[in-house]
Chain A
Amino acid sequence: RKEVEQDPGPFNVPEGATVAFNCTYSNSASQSFFWYRQDCRKEPKLLMSVYSSGNEDGRFTAQLNRASQYISLLIRDSKLSDSATYLCVVNPLYSSASKIIFGSGTRLSIRP
Chain B
Amino acid sequence: DGGITQSPKYLFRKEGQNVTLSCEQNLNHDAMYWYRQDPGQGLRLIYYSQIVNDFQKGDIAEGYSVSREKKESFPLTVTSAQKNPTAFYLCASSRTQETQYFGPGTRLLVL
A and B are interacting partners: no
